[in-house]
Amino acid sequence: MLRRASLLLLLLPGFALAQTGTVTAFATSQGVIGQANRADCTSATAVATWAIVTTGLTLATGDKWRLSTSSGSCSTTVPTTYLTEVLASSTTQSIPGVFVAQMATEASVSCIGANNQTINLCVYYLPTGTIPSNPLVFTGTLNFQTAIPPPPSVNSSSPGDGQLSINVTSGTATATETAVTGLTFTVTCTPPAGGSAKSATGNAGNIVCSGLTNGTPYTVTAVATSSAGNVGAVSAAFGPGDSTTPLPFVDFWTVYKSAGGVETGGCGAGGAGSLAPLLAVLGFLVARRRRS
């Protein structure tokens, strides 16, 4: 009977003996839980917000959380060097303003590393602010996404009226540029000296660079950005040339009139058949004009 009673006490609400918890963090600049990028890592001002969620823990006045990071498992000894220490006001508590660069330094993260690096988040519970002999530690992870993409390839350009359609694909991964998936690309169309460059962003494939000046030969470059916001090196320049020179759009009727056409359009006496030879010439003139 005594053994059964002991089991009931363990199962009844209010008599749970285990304390469990989770820790998450995100760089405020991105707002993606469990992630920081290269810019966050090297910034002197970028901060993270930590979230602590515990169960089975009863807080008292003066209790504290001590925050630390580690490249390996969280130590079972309360660290004397740490990120910050705050009063434990709730078993579900958000702690903002933790410097990301300090998180990286404490966990020995290289902010310019070629590959992403995962660290451990360690939160120590200090009852009444004192260090216990057997500390309670809650853990989580954060991924420093430091990988950058290689320079993309600008494969071709198709001119339009005041625009260029640029075909862009991802570059090939190198030892120091390993991010090749989940990329976005920014193309920049730069006119001769004194003009204003235009940019457009999209996925791999055709990206339209608009707002350009017809008849002006542009130089086109592209750059890739990883899903974490890490920007790679700029591509090799494409152009300037015929394929990077926007052309005005000239409709069929304008070409026909400029070639000496006299029909006014509509249902005239000549009928549609009388325009057939002119329309054939029209198609030839348009093709010739686009090639010139």
At 201, give phi and psi (nearest 5°).
Answer: -120, 140
Are 138 and 10 in a shared domain? yes
Point out the domain boundary residue: 121, 145, 169.
145
Are 76 and 194 in a shared domain? no
Using the structure block, give the residue that is written with the tokens 């991010």.
179
Neighbours of 222 (CB within 10 A): 27
Q: Would you give the end-to-end CA distance of the chain in angstroms? A: 101
pLDDT recorded at residue 195: 85
Are 82 and 157 in a shared domain? no
Point out the domain boundary residue: 145, 161, 180.
145
User: Can you give the pLDDT of all 292 residues of the chain as single tens digits?
Assistant: 333 333 332 333 333 458 999 999 999 988 899 999 999 999 999 999 999 999 999 999 999 999 999 999 999 999 999 999 999 999 999 999 999 999 999 999 999 999 999 999 999 999 999 999 999 999 999 999 999 999 999 999 999 999 999 999 999 999 999 999 999 999 999 999 878 999 999 999 999 999 999 999 999 999 999 999 999 999 999 999 999 999 997 655 555 555 676 666 554 444 444 444 544 444 544 444 444 4
Using the structure block, give the residue that is written with the tokens 């993606």.
32
Strand partners, 134: none
Are 62 and 173 in a shared domain? no
Domains: count for the chain: 3
CATH code of residue 32 = 2.60.40
Are 52 and 135 in a shared domain? yes
Q: Which helix (H) or strand (E) holds 66?
A: strand 64-70
pLDDT recorded at residue 265: 58
What does 78-130 look like in DSSP terms, one character per residue?
A: --SS-SEEEE---SEEEEEEEEHHHHHHHTT--TT-SS-EEEEEEEEEEGGG-
Q: Whole domain around residue 270: which residue ranges?
A: 252-291
Give the strand pairing for 35-37 and 136-145. parallel
pLDDT recorded at residue 151: 98
pLDDT recorded at residue 259: 65
Residue 40, SS3 per DSSP: helix
Point out the domain boundary residue: 124, 145, 166.
145
Written as six digits, the tokens of 151 are 């320079």
- For 128-218, where are the E strands, in sequence order? 136-145, 153-160, 163-169, 184-190, 198-202, 205-210
Written as six digits, the tokens of 98 are 């933790």
Are 16 and 129 in a shared domain? yes
**CB burial of residue 82 (10 Å; 0-12, 13-18, 19+):** middle
Are 92 and 9 in a shared domain? yes
Are 107 and 225 in a shared domain? no
Comparing C-alpha atoms, which of 202, 228, 197 is closest to residue 35? 228
Are 201 and 116 in a shared domain? no
pLDDT recorded at residue 162: 97
pLDDT recorded at residue 251: 54
Are 69 and 134 in a shared domain? yes
Written as six digits, the tokens of 249 are 């759009």
